[in-house]
Amino acid sequence: MPANRHNGYTDYGIGLGLRVPHYRHILAERPTCAWFEIISENFMVDGGRPLEVLDAILEQYQVVQHGVSLYLGSADKIDRAHLRRLKTLVKRTKTPWLSDHLCWGSVDGTYTHDLLPMPYTREAAIRTAEKIRSVRDFLEVPICVENVSSYMEFHASEMTEWEFLTEVVERADCGILLDVNNIYVSSRNHGFDPRRYIDSIPHHRVGQMHIAGHTKFEKYIVDTHDHPVLDPVWELYTRATRLCGVTATLLEWDDKIPSFDEVHAEALKANRYIEAARAAQKDSN
């Protein structure tokens, strides 16, 4: 199950997000790391240091592209010039799959640079799925869409978030980048059972998973990516792995970033939970 058509039939294991504070260490020490996830937009530039670093990384490591600006849920039409730029990068990295978020974030060409939750309506699902198909056809690479963490819900929603995600990926025939931390964050903010979310999605479509840390405030929790992964998220990760199989997993750590070794060690903790998931699966068989 982990190597599937949504991740280009790869079996990448546990990776890390490529972040600026680690560049020097990675380039000098060439540490072991199964793969790096890059933020596409950081490398959709014309030249200079970013592309130099990327090329050096590509010589040694497997790289997967993760985007933050396709805004698949925005009503705006897809910008062809943007897609051409993205495709140039896809050719450079040879990413086996590409991910972006199930969200909106731009209106009439003005960008919020945020990953905003959508109203979960059938109309939005149809429009978003069409957009995903169009992007995939243009880029000629499998697409996985990621569930976002959210802090608000709309009255206009006609279904739950997991029903909406399912509706979109089935209509688009695309993959899911399942962010278990985001599910946990949203479940706490909106009061749903995160296990139900994980149990309900089409598991065969999960091409990648994200894990991360979050921060609890008095009245809500925020997806801050500045902590180690917390226990409830590991529990959800174990559950998701049991249901989806061992899937390419990426630890996101984007703020207050500690040393490379510390981040890598945190990511590799996933192996414990993978084993736990395997054991649980064996028991149930």
d(CA 21, CA 27): 11
Whichever of 13 and 17 has its CB closer to other proteins, that residue is 17
In the list 151, 158, 159, 203, the residue contacting other proteins (rule: CB under 8 A) is 151
Q: Is the Cα dihedral 229, 232, 236, 238 positive or negative?
A: positive
Smallest distance from the beta carbon of 107 to other proteins, in angstroms? Answer: 4
The one segment of 23-31, 92-100, 111-119, 232-240 that binds other proteins by CB under 8 A: 111-119
Burial class (CB in 10 A: 0-12, 13-18, 19+), 165: buried
Q: Which listed residue (79, 158, 226, 235) binds other proteins by CB under 8 A? A: 79
Query: How many Å apart are CA 98 and CA 8, to the nearest integer?
Result: 10
Site string for other proteins, 88-107 (x = CB under 8 A): -------------------x
Q: Which of 28, 32, 59, 113 binds other proteins (CB under 8 A)?
A: 113
Residue 52 interacting with other proteins (CB under 8 A): yes
The DSSP secondary structure of 195-245, one letter per residue, reads HHHHHHS-GGGEEEEEEE--EE-SS-EE----SPPPHHHHHHHHHHHHHH-
Closest distance between other proteins and the C-beta of residue 30, in Å? 19
CA dist 79 and 149 (Å) reads 25
116 near other proteins (CB under 8 A): yes
Q: State the amino acid at position 195 in one-letter form.
A: R
Closer Cβ to other proteins, 25 or 272, answer by number: 25
155 binds other proteins (CB under 8 A): yes
Which of 194, 180, 190 lies closest to 219 in space, CA to CA?
A: 190
Binding site for other proteins (CB under 8 A): 41, 44-52, 69, 79, 82, 107, 109-114, 116, 151-156, 189-191, 218-220, 222
